[in-house]
A = this chain, B = another copy of it.
Amino acid sequence: MKRKCFGEDLCPVARSLEAVGDVWSVLIVREAFAGKRRFGEFERALGVAKNILTVRLRKLVAFGVLEQVPAADGPRHEYVLTERGRGLYLVLMALRQWGEDCGGESPYVLVDRRDGQPVKPLAFHAHDDRELGPDDMELVPAAEVKRR
């Protein structure tokens, strides 16, 4: 049977998953952030089958995450992150942070390029900068917020 469709779902989480809801897509975006742009680069870096890679790249292009641009060398093209694709940075880093917290320690640290210092862990903050956990927040209809 066909994979269920989630795009119709109103929830933006489900809509996001429509675009990057499979492992290869996420890893491709990860590599794109790491500077990879060519078909072959993704293939070697990920060890993914060519046909799968073809389909995934096309899907990411279709969803506006990647963009095909003509390559300087010859008739081929490269895949680069669009502005929208670059918006996935937080998702990727949230995944990274979670995978790091639970499980083996990672030998890498995310640092500020300006001063080489580690950046603060990702977290939500209230308008007065208090740090907020899952239980300190709730999703409410936009209309409700305006009233308060």
- Chain B residue with Cβ nearest A81: B134
Look across to chain B and name the residue whose beta carbon is closest to the beta carbon of A100: B12
- The answer to whether B87 touches A101, judged by C-beta atoms less than 8 angstroms apart, is yes
Cβ of A51 under 8 Å from chain B: no
- In the complex, whether A40 has a CB less than 8 A from a CB of chain B is no
Asked if A61 is an interface residue, CB under 8 A from chain B, the answer is: no
* Chain B contacts for A6, CB-based, 8 A: 23, 27
Bound Cα distance from A95 to B16, whole angstroms: 6
Contact-size category for A: 35 or more
Instruction: Decide if A93 is an interface residue (CB 8 Å cutoff).
Output: yes
Known contacts A33-B134, A118-B145; is A102 also within 8 Å of B139 by CB?
A: no
CB distance from A53 to the nearest CB of B (A): 12
| Whole-angstrom CA separation of A12 from B109 in the bound complex | 11
Given A126-B119, A145-B116, decide whether A98 and B109 contact each other with a Cβ distance below 8 A.
no
User: Is A114 engaged at the interface, CB distance under 8 Å to the other chain?
Assistant: yes
CB distance from A20 to the nearest CB of B (A): 8
Does A136 lie within 8 Å of B113, measured CB to CB? yes
A121 to B142, CA, bound (A): 15
Q: Report the Cα distance A98→B132, complex, angstroms.
A: 19
Q: Which residue of B lies closest to A112 (CB)?
A: B126
Closest Cβ–Cβ distance, residue A65 to chain B (whole Å)? 9
Contact of A91 among B22, B94, B109 (CB under 8 A): B94
Q: Which residue of B lies closest to A9 (CB)?
A: B27
